[in-house]
Chains A and B, each alone.
Chain A
Amino acid sequence: MMDSGFDRRDFLKVLGWGGTTAALGGCGFTSMEDGKETVVSYVEAKDYMIPSISVYYNSTCTQCDMGCSISGRVREGRVLKLEGNPESAINRGKLCGLGQAGVQHHYNPDRVREPLLRTGSKSGETITWEKAYGLIAEKLNGVSGEEIAFLTGGMSGHLKVLMGNYLDSFGCKNHFVYEAIAPAVVRAANKKSYGVEMPRISINKAKVVLSFGADFLGSWVSPVHFSQQYAQFRKGVNGQRGVLIQVESKMTLTGANADRWLAVRPGTEGILALGIINALGTATGDVAAAVKGYDKVRVSKDTGVSAEQIDKIAALLKARTPSLVLVGSAAEGYAHGSQNAAAINLLNQVLGNVGKTVEAAASVPFPQMAPALGNTAALQGLNKGLAEGKFKVLFNYAANPVFTAPAAMKFKDNMAKAGFKVVFAHYLDETALQADLVLPLDSGLEDWGSHVPEYMAEGAQINIQQPLMEKIHANTRGMGDILLSLVKQRRSEDYKKYADYYAYLRDALLKNKDAFGGKGIDDDVFWDDTLSKGIVKLAGSTGALSAKASAAGLTLPAPAAIDAQFPLQLIPSVNHSLRDGRNTNQPWLQESPDPLTTIVWDSWVEIHPKKAAELGIAEGDIVEITSKNGSIKVQAYLFPGIHPDVISVPLGRGHEAMGRYAKDYGVNPFLILDAIFDKETGELAMHETRVKVSKTGQKVIVVKDEGPAGGRQMGKKIAPRLPTDKVDFSKEV
């Protein structure tokens, strides 16, 4: 055997070393990150704070103005999630997606944390509260009441009272209450037709709901309440499922849930309402005379709704009572909106719904606390004063007019004419950026307050707002506390005893506890009980509704002719989460797809496929929309739920400020709106803007949740549908 120099022993040696090396290589790796495993516990926990046990505190949601009551889950001193408070008749334990995002309003990293003095320095200099209050006192010194202006959003409750007292101390009457999107024309029309601005409606009692653009499931008035009524409505009265008919020029969320959605020529809703009254054939007196000329042929020609459809609607309304007729965008959209609303409310009267599905709402017996409702006419008044250079000091709270005012009003320029501008803000939004002094507010989950809702669901109630946790940022203040400090500058004797707004609120509520059902109950017990419930129910007064059907003063214009230069009509749509843009910096809402288009994080323009084909526009094309007052560039989306002569861009995006989640996403259609106002109320007619559309040649891929299949099921049984005559509801639970 030749000696090859390698034998069995060598072989085993090599094997052994190789194996060990391989084994050693795998050590030292755990699946948890090194150094990140720490357990943090409070050294001194508060005695109500038991780790891992949630405590629930009730308060009021401030994401929109409807005043749903919330129940916040708080753990280890942090609010984690909001749920609905079952105690409130308005939301009955439910809370919409917008309300859920309240925690993102509260924890938002872009909140203003310190008072900022911005005069002279673009980035702002941080100052103390004492200095801020001193500066305000200084600027108000020697200024008369007419030279001071307060612009706020809708206000109610004790904050409104305190605000009123502060204004009184100057003899100032310039409190402008402004809401960019408000059912202001509806309110005025209701007042005329029924005698109250916001009657209590009962969708659940109606067998047919005919809605003229009222997006009651999305953003109109109190969608959380109405959605629950809607559920009962669908279950039906005596097993007969309710029928929803929606009449509008651009499909809203409610329209998407209608049994029949009618694309009506924009502005002709009133004509259709009169046409239906005519078709009903039950009207008498001046009403019959008024509708005589609105036969279905003429109405069909004017509105685009077929004659058979009009007949069907009339027949249905006759056969199934009570019904309910609602007016929404038909009123807010047009220069003749009040007339539209009057005609539509008349239909309710003729059908005999008043007193059945349209009833008087309860009201809180403290008129000073009743909500001051906002509208755009108020902004016009302020704008006029600013333009004239009338105001030396301007205060702004809960409104963002630089973002929401149409550019035609030149609000930003006019605002610059005010001498000293103070903005109370949560974030540096467009209006705050124009301020001289920005004062940081407590979030809606850190503050005390009382709110009287505009829409009273059942009995009268006052919503209580209490902090769900300690302030995150030490230097923010509640608006109530700020106002109290300011009013103390003027009337120190009257308010000396109140250390803070909490004391003021508590005192005010306890003073009237008898009316609030606290008669004979100990003060502290009553207060704790109120806070734990989150609302105060009281015996409110209910007025009577006028059920007289009268067509007095009702004149509807003929349908508008199409402007050759601006052939399309722009409808800026209201998304149920983004609304007027106050919540756009909440990322859950940015990432939540629009229910109808499924688009996220960006704006779009909805064009009917027929019109898009005519113009040669495909999905994703960047088009320029030009009105007389400006233009915006936005991606196109082909959408079948819109009248072919109408295009629609959503409101709420297009911020130029307001933090990382809102800035530079989308475009702001508010800016290009024509300054056309409702003749009777002076409200901005939102749908009257005429535009032209042109391609820019650029193209993007639309960022949306739906895929290339769009809304098609490709022959699969994914979302099928049954007609009522093929369904047996009797067996259902």
Chain B
Amino acid sequence: MSVTTLLEGWSDWRHEHPINDQPHNPYKWAMSIDLDACTGCNACSVACYAENNLPVVGKEKYAHGQVMHWLRIERYWDEDGREFPDQGARFLPMMCQQCEAAPCETVCPVGATNHTPDGLNSQIYNRCIGSRYCSANCPFKVRYFNWYDYPTTDNVWPAEMNQQLNPDVTVRGKGVMEKCTFCVQRLREAESNAKSQGRVVRDGEVQTACQQVCLPGAITFGNLVDPESKVHKKWQAQQVELAKDVQAKDKEEGGSKLRGYRILEELRPYPSVMYLERVRDSAI
């Protein structure tokens, strides 16, 4: 508790996105989601509920907009006024984008949300006083607040159902903000095991719950700074750079022929999730 801590912590805390003198090392967790492969089946969302002790709020609270799904599947239609959606729908899994320059991190009055050295946006439950400024500032609205005390609410985790709870993940009480953590409990376990073996986590060694269950394998997750990882190769192939808000390929004449993009990039949060555009065949 000293002024030195304050001054040091300040600059470490607020490192927006990797710049030359302090890149992420040895981990920067990132994701790539192929929207052409995503079928909208919602298995990822259910797996997230199972892994992260998400409460089921029930019909009435859902009607009030108080649902807790950290990962939501959005469904979009074409907007050209045709009678039928004859090129199908578009599904988009949206979760916390773990932004490098997260708008939520700067505004928490008590510093309950910060950036970790491995590139995650952390949410520290026991520090949170529930001012909800982070959610107010999130452009994606992927932060979910515990509006009620779900552990003591009827029928959320009645007897026997509470035995399903994952002991690796805190069960949140009322008044606390929560969001997708890229299954940080799994990451920490893998990082710790790797460290005790004197190495770095290998690509594919750790999976997030959503990635693990995704049937068509649309979700790719891994260490962006590991040149051998799938996610690194995907980002590279799509020419999407973490620390840029306008990608070089977007300036190409006639638009880029590559599918990778990030959502609301112009707001410059530098999200760690890249999406690959859905494709529809032009031959039919």
B161 near A217: Cβ-Cβ < 8 Å? no
B22 shortest CB reach to chain A, Å: 28
CB contact list, B14-44 vs A, under 8 A? 35-37, 39-44
B161 near A241: Cβ-Cβ < 8 Å? no
B284 near A589: Cβ-Cβ < 8 Å? no
**In the assembled complex, which residues on chain A have CB atoms less than 8 Å from the CB atom of B167?**
52, 75-76, 80
B180 shortest CB reach to chain A, Å: 16
B281 near A723: Cβ-Cβ < 8 Å? yes
A665 near B40: Cβ-Cβ < 8 Å? no
Comparing A288-296, A359-367, A594-602, the segment that makes contact with chain B is: A594-602
A79 shortest CB reach to chain B, Å: 8
- Cβ-neighbour of A97 out of B45, B57, B86 (below 8 A): B45
Comparing A101-109, A279-287, A499-507, the segment that makes contact with chain B is: A101-109
- Cβ-neighbour of B277 out of A701, A713, A722 (below 8 A): A722
Any A CB within 8 A of the CB of B46:
yes
A723 near B279: Cβ-Cβ < 8 Å? yes
- Cβ-neighbour of A243 out of B43, B47, B283 (below 8 A): B283
A723 shortest CB reach to chain B, Å: 4
B47 near A100: Cβ-Cβ < 8 Å? yes
- Cβ-neighbour of A96 out of B59, B155, B215 (below 8 A): B215
A84 near B213: Cβ-Cβ < 8 Å? yes
B33 shortest CB reach to chain A, Å: 11
Any A CB within 8 A of the CB of B199:
no
Q: With the chains together, A100 CA to B160 CA distance in Å?
A: 17
B51 near A81: Cβ-Cβ < 8 Å? yes
Q: With the chains together, A592 CA to B54 CA distance in Å?
A: 12
B281 near A717: Cβ-Cβ < 8 Å? no
Any B CB within 8 A of the CB of A660:
yes
A731 near B237: Cβ-Cβ < 8 Å? yes
Q: With the chains together, A217 CA to B218 CA distance in Å?
A: 14
Comparing A152-160, A224-232, A418-426, the segment that makes contact with chain B is: A224-232
B39 near A716: Cβ-Cβ < 8 Å? no
B39 near A103: Cβ-Cβ < 8 Å? no
Comparing B4-12, B68-76, B112-120, the segment that makes contact with chain A is: B68-76
**In the assembled complex, which residues on chain B have CB atoms less than 8 Å from the CB atom of A640?**
77, 83-85
Any A CB within 8 A of the CB of B227:
no
A96 near B161: Cβ-Cβ < 8 Å? no
Nearest residue, chain B, Cβ from A245 = B284
Any B CB within 8 A of the CB of A615:
no
A107 near B41: Cβ-Cβ < 8 Å? no
A717 near B284: Cβ-Cβ < 8 Å? no
B85 near A97: Cβ-Cβ < 8 Å? no
**In the assembled complex, which residues on chain B have CB atoms less than 8 Å from the CB atom of A84?**
213
A732 near B237: Cβ-Cβ < 8 Å? yes
CB contact list, B195-225 vs A, under 8 A? 209, 212-218
**In the assembled complex, which residues on chain B have CB atoms less than 8 Å from the CB atom of A97?**
41-47, 213
- Cβ-neighbour of A228 out of B75, B88, B215 (below 8 A): B215
Comparing B100-108, B130-138, B240-248, B251-259, the segment that makes contact with chain A is: B251-259
- Cβ-neighbour of B41 out of A313, A595, A601 (below 8 A): A595
B218 near A713: Cβ-Cβ < 8 Å? no
**In the assembled complex, which residues on chain B have CB atoms less than 8 Å from the CB atom of A223?**
41, 215
A107 shortest CB reach to chain B, Å: 4
Contact (A260, B77) CB under 8 Å given A108-B161, A705-B72, A728-B257: no
Comparing A250-258, A398-406, A428-436, the segment that makes contact with chain B is: A250-258
Q: With the chains together, A610 CA to B81 CA distance in Å?
A: 12
**In the assembled complex, which residues on chain A have CB atoms less than 8 Å from the CB atom of B87?**
258-261, 721
A723 near B282: Cβ-Cβ < 8 Å? yes
A255 near B88: Cβ-Cβ < 8 Å? yes
**In the assembled complex, which residues on chain A have CB atoms less than 8 Å from the CB atom of B182?**
none
Nearest residue, chain B, Cβ from A665 = B59
Nearest residue, chain A, Cβ from B56 = A587
- Cβ-neighbour of B86 out of A261, A711, A727 (below 8 A): A261
Q: With the chains together, A710 CA to B90 CA distance in Å?
A: 13
**Size of the chain A interface, CB-CB below 8 angstroms:** 97
Contact (A718, B77) CB under 8 Å given A241-B279, A257-B88: no
Any A CB within 8 A of the CB of B109:
no
Any B CB within 8 A of the CB of A593:
yes
B284 near A588: Cβ-Cβ < 8 Å? no
B284 near A260: Cβ-Cβ < 8 Å? yes
Any B CB within 8 A of the CB of A628:
no
- Scoring B41, B155, B167 by chain A CB atoms within 10 A of each residue's CB, the highest score goes to B41
Q: With the chains together, A716 CA to B62 CA distance in Å?
A: 26
Nearest residue, chain B, Cβ from A715 = B79
**In the assembled complex, which residues on chain A have CB atoms less than 8 Å from the CB atom of B158?**
109
Q: With the chains together, A731 CA to B51 CA distance in Å?
A: 35
A79-102 CB mask vs B (1 if < 8 Å, else 0) is 111111000000000111100110
Any B CB within 8 A of the CB of A193:
no
B84 near A732: Cβ-Cβ < 8 Å? no
- Cβ-neighbour of A641 out of B69, B85, B233, B237 (below 8 A): B85
**In the assembled complex, which residues on chain A have CB atoms less than 8 Å from the CB atom of B79?**
712-713
Any A CB within 8 A of the CB of B2:
no
Any A CB within 8 A of the CB of B58:
yes
B232 shortest CB reach to chain A, Å: 9
Any B CB within 8 A of the CB of A31:
yes
Any B CB within 8 A of the CB of A218:
yes
Nearest residue, chain B, Cβ from A726 = B257
- Cβ-neighbour of A733 out of B233, B261, B278 (below 8 A): B233
Nearest residue, chain B, Cβ from A260 = B284
Any A CB within 8 A of the CB of B126:
yes
A253 near B39: Cβ-Cβ < 8 Å? yes
**In the assembled complex, which residues on chain B have CB atoms less than 8 Å from the CB atom of A589?**
46
Nearest residue, chain B, Cβ from A246 = B88
**In the assembled complex, which residues on chain A have CB atoms less than 8 Å from the CB atom of B59?**
590, 600-602, 665, 703
- Cβ-neighbour of A721 out of B72, B212, B278 (below 8 A): B278
A31 near B164: Cβ-Cβ < 8 Å? no
B73 shortest CB reach to chain A, Å: 6
B283 near A100: Cβ-Cβ < 8 Å? no
A723 near B280: Cβ-Cβ < 8 Å? yes
**In the assembled complex, which residues on chain B have CB atoms less than 8 Å from the CB atom of A261?**
84-88
Contact (A592, B86) CB under 8 Å given A31-B126, A94-B214, A231-B218: no
B284 near A243: Cβ-Cβ < 8 Å? yes
Contact (A256, B56) CB under 8 Å given A728-B258, A732-B259: no
A609-641 CB mask vs B (1 if < 8 Å, else 0) is 010000000000000000000000000000011
**In the assembled complex, which residues on chain B have CB atoms less than 8 Å from the CB atom of A95?**
43, 47, 213
> 3 closest pairs, A vs B, by CB?
A97-B46, A231-B216, A227-B215
A-B residue pairs in contact (CB < 8 Å), sample of 8: A223-B215, A245-B284, A259-B284, A660-B155, A718-B74, A721-B279, A727-B259, A733-B233
Q: A107-B163, A228-B216, A234-B216 are in contact. List 15 more A-B contacts (CB 8 A).
A: A81-B166, A96-B43, A109-B161, A228-B217, A259-B281, A312-B284, A591-B57, A711-B75, A719-B74, A721-B279, A723-B280, A726-B255, A727-B257, A731-B237, A732-B238
